[in-house]
Amino acid sequence: MIVVAVVGPTATGKSDLALDLAEALGPERPAATGGPARGRAPAEIVNADAYQLYRGMDIGTAKVAPHERRGIRHHELDVLDPREDSSVARYQDAARADLDAIDARGARAVVVGGSGLYVRALLDEMNFPGTDPEIRARLEARAEHEGRRALHAELAERDPAAAESIGPANTRRIVRALEVIELTGAPYTANLPRQEYVRPAVQIGLDCDRETLDARVEARVARMWDAGLVEEVRRLASPEQGGNGTGLGATAARAVGYAEILAWFRGETSADEARAAIAANTRRLARKQMGWFGRDPRVRWLDAGSPTLLDDALAVVAAADSGSLPRPAEGPVRRSLGA
């Protein structure tokens, strides 16, 4: 069954649309009241937001609360301790296992999130060869004694495309390319991400003009602030949580909404400045996300503010299911926010 992914900038309503789609793509409603649901198995949602993986990071990540999930099963939420560093490779393994299990149950998977790397790791051909300290140390020693141009010449023999892309001046990337070749026995370029789905999928992007999105961001920050974002960060960052004197690891502490309040706690800014910085950085994040997803011609863009949004999204899914979806180059592309 084709995987449906809802992607795009923050504050465009991805979670709401994912819930609506999961309901609509789940069991058919009985014709008469009292009868059992029939037809399809319940659809399930797979999170692709890097920070919603963390337990306790709820308000600042706009995580859908359990009582608001409409009885729909969710995956990849609250699976990491805030002191842990996230790993795209770990996420890929776990989330792909979720997709396998959902498919085995005969259900539809609805992926939702704005973390572009995580979406691609889940849906696309993307390998993580790992590292080997001994191989890397040996290559770094060779680079120091033989010179990086010698290693680049070796790379040109073993993977000409990689050598052309990297160039002779980037020692770190030359070493990494040769390390991957030695680890995998395959060209370095064979392990680079490709826009090729590992299973049938369709991406629905939510587009929004700048002025409207900025207003949505301001409203979201106000709701988060009133809902207790400051206290959430205070609780997570308390030394009692463990770690290196704080309950937030390096990855979690960089999240928009958390980093700015932590700076306020350290006395670097005021409360008002922290709140303004959250809004400004959220707007910046939205533009970055649109740049990421806007470069993928496979994304089918819909107007986030359309009164027929769910029907429009269901039409995209139906076309994908029937194989009648236009080729990416032929379909409409909307990128209102720019890169």
* Binding-site residue set for ATP: 8-15
CB count in 10 Å sphere of residue 86 = 18
Sequence-distant (≥ 6) Cβ neighbours of residue 220 within 8 angstroms: 11, 62, 282
> Which amino acid is present at 100?
D
Please name which of 9, 81, 12, 21 lies closest in space to residue 45, comparing C-alpha atoms. Answer: 21
Can you say which residues are annotated as belonging to the binding site? 8-15
> Which amino acid is present at 72?
I
C-alpha separations of 182 from 134, 295, 328 in Å: 11, 32, 36
Q: What is the DSSP string of 155-216?
A: HHHH-HHHHHHH-TT-HHHHHHHHHHHHHHSS-GGGGS-EEEESS-EEEEEEE--HHHHHHH
Q: At what angle do helices 148-158 and 133-146 cross, to 10 degrees?
A: 120
Rounded Cα distance between 159 and 186, Å, is 9
Per-residue DSSP letter, 83: T
Contact 112, 90 (CB under 8 A): no
Which regions of 95-166 does DSSP assign to beta strands (E)?
A: 109-112, 124-125
C-alpha separations of 141 from 137, 157, 169 in Å: 6, 20, 16
Query: Positive or negative CA dihedral for 22, 27, 32, 36?
Result: negative
Q: What is the DSSP string of 262-300?
A: HHHHTTSS-HHHHHHHHHHHHHHHHHHHHHHHHT-TTEE
Tokens 């076309």 -> residue: 319
Can you say which residues are annotated as belonging to the binding site for substrate? 10-15
- Cα 293 from chain centroid? 10
